[in-house]
């Protein structure tokens, strides 16, 4: 059964995924002679670059996400559907939904992003959640805040130490941003608020299998980032991949670190679009698209963003970042417009890299614009202004700017609520809470 009953002879574009890529396709097709159905399994567009700030209690969920339906309310030709895509019938030109219904398309754009990958250790996910969705961010926030709460009541020194140890696996931008901010939370923000523990004793351990942090940046920026993290009190462990991850901690390079909070920031796996389409994928599961971003053998299907393996003009892989997804969305919209205007053929996508940015805590950042490289406080201001600029809506820009001002000047983080009850998450199960007299609660 069809998911919609619209009788309409206009060209029907179905876009799956309202992330950076999918939403850009829809935005750039304003006024084009077609109707669009935008499908997403969540009701909101998410600004993932600031997710770590929700996970570390700096921003609220509503400051970095917007209802898709509201964003497109003025576009009468766009229908938004909250639904999960489970496959594609290429012969019948149908998108298959997980409830058994389907949607016919003339042109299809798949922009379903990626999830974290555990390199064959899927069982680690329950001990070391990754950061990709708002739910992930609030789960991590809850674990971090609960660890401090439980440490406050813990009499046993070894258990208290494990509760006050935070391990982050993977030292890319997300791992570095999480480590720096958790260190600031423990060593600055929370210092006056607990009575039985000294939160400054908390350990933040950043473990990276490769030889340096921020491997995508130049070596001098990596070194600067590592030194800055160490000044914030982060222990940086390089060259030793994690070999074991349990409810009690991690093992890497033959060392065991008991820790109640472990966060996964290493590796991504594309959404299963390649399986839906029955086309070749790279090791990360990304569809190996043609130069014009179409799926091989299917000129009416485009695959973009984190779900696509795209090569830049210099032969290097296009990075899985928001500007790349947006540029691809813009290119696809241009191709669709040209086709609707009766032009045959399509031009290859050409990626233009504007730069790489990463923050280290609330005052420092590194920026690589190619010829220009910046680090320190100036880089942080540029990073901050760029992120505020790319947020959607004046209210959110003001709200985020105000939250950051408060963090900067008063060290107060506004979003420190533990929701969904205070029952211990899984990793704490083997470490029951005790009163100071040692009686189990």
Ligand X SMILES: Cc1cc2nc3c(=O)[nH]c(=O)nc-3n(C[C@H](O)[C@H](O)[C@H](O)COP(=O)(O)OP(=O)(O)OC[C@H]3O[C@@H](n4cnc5c(N)ncnc54)[C@H](O)[C@@H]3O)c2cc1C
* Contact flag: residue 367 with ligand X (CB under 6 A): no
Q: How far apart are CA 424 and CA 162, in angstroms?
A: 14
Distance CA 374, CA 285 (A): 34
DSSP string computed for 97-119: ETTS-EEE-SEEEE---EEE--T
Cβ 150 to ligand X shortest distance, Å = 26
- Least Cβ distance, residue 137 to ligand X (angstroms): 8
Nearer to ligand X, 129 or 249 (CB): 129
Q: Which of 308, 300, 315, 313 is nearest to 348 (CA)?
A: 313
C-alpha closest to that of 302 among 338, 268, 273? 273
Instruction: Answer positive or negative: Cα dihedral of 126, 130, 136, 141.
Output: positive
Sorted by sequence, the CB contacts under 8 Å of residue 59 that are 6+ apart come out as 50, 53, 400, 403, 414, 415
Q: Which of 85, 207, 259, 428 binds ligand X (CB under 6 A)?
A: 85
> Sign of torsion, CA 235 239 245 248?
negative
From 242-250, 315-323, 347-355, 405-413, give the range in contact with ligand X by CB under 6 A.
315-323
Contacts to ligand X from residues 91-130, by CB under 6 A: 111-113
3-state secondary structure of 381: helix
**177 in catalytic set:** yes
Contact window for ligand X (CB under 6 A) among 4-12, 14-22, 248-256, 433-441:
14-22
Is residue 21 involved in binding ligand X (CB under 6 A)? Answer: yes
Q: Which listed residue (173, 175, 249, 285) binds ligand X by CB under 6 A?
A: 173
Interface segment toward ligand X; rule CB under 6 A; list 20-28, 144-152, 223-231, 392-400:
20-28
The DSSP H or E segment spanning 288 is: strand 287-288
3-state secondary structure of 313: coil
Contact set for ligand X, span 231-260 (CB under 6 A): none
CA separation, residue 304 to residues 25, 106, 438 (Å): 10, 17, 56
Binds ligand X (CB under 6 A): choice among 2, 84, 218, 316: 84
Tell me: does residue 306 bind ligand X (CB under 6 A). Answer: yes
Least distance in Å: CB of 360 to ligand X? 13
CB of 5 to ligand X, least distance (A): 20
- In the block, residue with structure tokens 């496959």: 87
Site for ligand X in 128-157 (CB under 6 A): 131-132
The answer to the question of residue 19 lying near ligand X (CB under 6 A) is yes
Residues 6+ apart with CB under 8 A from 407: 58, 362, 413
Which residue from 13, 28, 37, 48 is in contact with ligand X, where contact means CB under 6 A? 48
How many residues contact ligand X, by CB under 6 A? 33
In angstroms, rounded to a whole number, what is the distance separating the alpha carbons of residues 56 and 72?
30
Q: What residues form DSSP beta bridges with 262?
A: 167
Residue 210 or residue 355: which is nearer to ligand X going by CB?
355
Asked if 168 touches ligand X (CB under 6 A), the answer is: no
Burial class (CB in 10 A: 0-12, 13-18, 19+), 266: buried
> Which C-beta is closer to ligand X: that of 241 or that of 267?
267
Residues 315 and 311: their CA atoms lie apart, in Å, by 6
Q: Which residue is nearest to ligand X (CB)?
A: 19
Residue 425 near ligand X by CB under 6 A: no
> In the structure encoding, which two tokens stand for residue 244, read together?
């074991």
Binding span for ligand X by CB under 6 A among 33-41, 159-167, 192-200, 243-251: 33-41
- Decide: is 322 part of the binding site for ligand X (CB under 6 A): yes
Contact between 42 and ligand X per CB under 6 A: yes
- The residues, ordered by sequence, that sit 6+ positions from 84 with a Cβ below 8 Å of its Cβ are 41, 97, 98
Choose which of 22, 129, 180, 249 interacts with ligand X (CB under 6 A): 22
DSSP H helix total and E strand total for the chain: 11, 25
* Contact map string, positions 262 to 301, toward ligand X, x by CB under 6 A: ---------x------------------------------
The catalytic position among 154, 177, 208, 237 is 177
**Residues involved in catalysis:** 177
Residue ranges binding ligand X (CB under 6 A) = 16-22, 39-42, 48-49, 51-52, 84-85, 111-113, 131-132, 173-174, 271, 305-307, 320-323, 325
């Amino acid at each position: 059964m069809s998911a919609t009953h619209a009788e309409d002879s206009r060209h029907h574009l179905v876009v799956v995924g309202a992330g950076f890529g999918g939403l850009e396709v829809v935005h750039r097709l304003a006024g084009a002679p077609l109707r669009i159905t935008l499908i997403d399994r969540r009701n909101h567009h998410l600004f993932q670059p600031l997710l770590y700030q929700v996970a570390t209690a700096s921003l609220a969920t509503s400051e970095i996400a917007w209802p898709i339906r509201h964003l497109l309310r003025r576009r009468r030709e766009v229908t938004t559907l909250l639904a999960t895509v489970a496959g594609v019938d290429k012969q019948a030109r149908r998108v298959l939904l997980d409830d058994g219904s389907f949607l016919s398309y003339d042109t299809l754009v798949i922009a379903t992003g990626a999830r974290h990958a555990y390199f064959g250790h899927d069982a680690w996910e329950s001990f070391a959640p990754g950061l990709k969705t708002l739910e992930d961010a609030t789960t991590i926030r809850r674990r971090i805040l609960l660890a401090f709460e439980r440490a406050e009541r813990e009499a046993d020194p070894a258990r208290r130490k494990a509760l006050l140890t935070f391990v982050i696996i993977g030292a890319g931008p997300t791992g570095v941003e999480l480590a720096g901010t958790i260190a600031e939370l423990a060593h600055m923000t929370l210092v006056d608020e607990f009575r039985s523990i000294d939160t400054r004793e908390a350990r933040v351990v950043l473990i990276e299998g490769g030889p340096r942090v921020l491997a995508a940046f130049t070596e001098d920026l990596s070194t600067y980032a590592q030194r800055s993290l160490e000044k914030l009190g982060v222990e940086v462990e390089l060259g030793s991949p994690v070999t074991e991850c349990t409810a009690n901690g991690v093992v890497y390079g033959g060392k065991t670190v008991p820790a109640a909070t472990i966060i996964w920031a290493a590796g991504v796996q594309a959404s299963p679009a390649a399986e839906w389409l029955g086309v070749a994928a790279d090791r990360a599961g990304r569809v190996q698209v043609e130069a014009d971003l179409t799926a091989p053998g299917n000129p009416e299907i485009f695959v973009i963003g984190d779900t696509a393996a795209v090569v830049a003009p210099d032969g290097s892989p296009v990075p899985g970042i928001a500007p790349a997804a947006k540029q691809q969305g813009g290119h696809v919209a241009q191709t669709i417009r040209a086709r609707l205007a009766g032009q045959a053929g399509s031009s290859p996508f050409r990626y233009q890299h504007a730069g790489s940015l990463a923050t280290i805590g609330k005052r420092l950042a590194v920026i690589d614009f190619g010829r220009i490289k910046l680090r320190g406080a100036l880089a942080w201001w540029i990073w901050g202004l760029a992120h505020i600029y790319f947020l959607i809506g004046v209210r959110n820009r003001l709200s985020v700017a105000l939250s950051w001002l408060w963090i900067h000047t008063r060290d107060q983080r506004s979003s420190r609520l533990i929701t969904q009850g205070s029952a211990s998450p899984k990793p704490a199960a083997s470490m029951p809470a005790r009163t100071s007299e040692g009686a189990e609660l």
